[in-house]
Amino acid sequence: MSCTRTLGANALLSKQPASHLLKAFNSSLAASSPSSSLSYGTLVILRHPSPSRRQFSTTNRHPFKFTNPAPIREFFPVTHTEQIRRTPAAWSHPIYTEAEVNSVVVAHRNAKTWSDYIALGALRTTRWCFDLVSGYRHDKAFAMTERKYMIRNIFLESVAGVPGMVAGMLRHLRSMRRMKRDNGWMETLLEESYNERMHLLTFLQMAEPGWFMRLAVLGAQGVFFNAFFLAYLVSPSTCHRFVGYLEEEAVLTYTREINDIDAGKLPLWEKMEAPPIAIEYWKMPEGKRTMRDLLLYVRADESKHREVNHTLANIDYKEDPNPYSSTYKSDDRPHPNKGIQHQRPGGWERDEVI
C-alpha cells in the first residue's frame, strides 16, 4: 500500500486523547487505497510502549514523571555517525556464573576502630537522608511497589558513582603532585564509578525520572561530592570504610527486591525482560534475562564494591599496592580479583594480601 495521507508529528504528539488520535488515523485509512503501504511506528509506540516502560507506567508513557509528558523519545539515544559503528564499554565486565550471583549474602563488618565508628555513623545519617528523599520504607505498613523500588534505585545509583570518581581523581592528583606511582588504586576506583553509572543507565531504560527526581539528584550529588571530597582529603581509609558500609546497604536493598519478586509482591517484574544495555554489559545468557536476573547481577556488583572498599580500608593507602590489580607470587590460596569467585564480605585483611 502507498499511503499519501499520514498523520503529522504534531497530531501524534498533541495532548488529544488516544481515542481522538485513533479516529483521525482511521479517517486517513479510509481515504487511502487498499494497496497502499503505511508507516505507523509512532502511533504504535504511543498505544503500545515497550514492555520495559509499560510495566512501570502509571501513565501511557513515563512511569513516575511529575511533569507533563514530553514528546515520545528514547531517553538517551545512541549517537550515530558516518564512520563509527559502535562504541564498546571502556571496562568490560567479568562474566558471573549463576552459582556466583546466587551465592551473594547480606553481611555486615563490625566496627573495630574509631575510624570505623565514624564511618558507620556517617553511613546511618546518609541512609536516613536517602530513605527520606527516595520515599523508601521496607515494612508491612508501607508496602514497596515496582514504582517505589525504581525511584529508589535510580536515586541511589545516581549518587553511588560519586565516591569512586572522587577518590580516583584525588589519587590521580596525588600521584602527579608527589611524582610517585599510584600503585594501581585509581583504575579500580574509576572502574567502580563506571560500573555504578551502568547500573543507572540500565534503570533509566525502564523509567524516566521527572523534574522532582532530577532536582533531588542534583542536590544530592552536589552535597555528597563536596562532602566526600573533603573527607577523603582528611582520611581516605575512613571514606573507604564508609563506602563499604554503604554497599552493605545496597546489597540488602537489592536482596529485598529479589525476595519480594519471589514472594509475588512485585508481579509486574516477575516476567519483565532486562533492557538491551544490561544484556550486553553483563553478557546475560539466553533464558536468564529477566528483571530478577538483572537484580542478581546488580547485587553481585554491589557485593564486590563492598569487598573492595572494606579491603582498601584495611591496608595502607599511602604505600600498599592495590590488591585487585596485582599479580601474586603464589597461587596456592585465593587472592583478590575482579570476579566474585572468592567473596569476602568484610574485605581482605592486610596480612592476607600484602
| Total of domains in the chain | 2
DSSP assignment string, 287-328? T--BHHHHHHHHHHHHHHHHHHHHHHHHS-TTTPPPGGG---
Least confident of 7-16, 181-190, 307-316, 325-334: 7-16
Decide if 270 is inside a domain: yes
Decide if 78 is inside a domain: no
The predicted-structure confidence for 245-259, as pLDDT tens digits, reads as follows 999 999 999 999 999
284/192 same-domain check: yes
302 is in an annotated binding site: yes
Structural domain including 168 reads 98-353
The predicted-structure confidence for 305-322, as pLDDT tens digits, reads as follows 999 999 999 999 999 999
13/127 same-domain check: no
157 is in an annotated binding site: yes
Contacts of 163 (CB under 8 A, 6+ apart): 189, 192, 193, 228, 239, 243, 246
240 is in an annotated binding site: no
14/139 same-domain check: no
Residue 131 or residue 268, greater confidence = 268
**CATH number for position 341:** 1.20.1260.140
204/283 same-domain check: yes
The predicted-structure confidence for 83-102, as pLDDT tens digits, reads as follows 877 777 778 899 999 999 99
Residue 11 to residues 18, 19, 40, 140, Cα–Cα distance (Å): 11, 12, 13, 46
Q: Which residue has the cell 542478581?
A: 296
Least confident of 120-124, 302-306, 330-334: 330-334
132/208 same-domain check: yes
Decide if 342 is inside a domain: yes
Decide if 59 is inside a domain: no
Does 291 score more than 90 pLDDT? yes
Decide if 80 is inside a domain: no
Residue 197 to residues 32, 36, 301, Cα–Cα distance (Å): 48, 46, 12
- The closest of 31, 7, 32, 33 to 20, measured between CA atoms, is 7
Assign 77 a pLDDT band (cuts: 50, 70, 90): low
199 is in an annotated binding site: yes
Average pLDDT over residues 201-225: 89
23/162 same-domain check: no
Q: Which residue has the cell 501511557?
A: 60
Mean pLDDT of the chain: 80
156/270 same-domain check: yes
pLDDT of residue 210: 84
CA 263 to chain CA mean position, Å: 23
The predicted-structure confidence for 9-65, as pLDDT tens digits, reads as follows 444 334 444 444 444 444 444 444 444 333 333 222 223 344 444 444 434 444 444
The predicted-structure confidence for 273-290, as pLDDT tens digits, reads as follows 999 999 999 999 999 999
Contacts of 328 (CB under 8 A, 6+ apart): 335
pLDDT of residue 76: 62
112/235 same-domain check: yes
155/227 same-domain check: yes
Decide if 327 is inside a domain: yes
31/121 same-domain check: no
The predicted-structure confidence for 125-180, as pLDDT tens digits, reads as follows 988 988 887 777 776 656 789 998 998 999 989 999 999 999 999 999 999 999 99
190/279 same-domain check: yes
Residue 8 or residue 110, greater confidence = 110
199/282 same-domain check: yes
Decide if 73 is inside a domain: no
Decide if 67 is inside a domain: no
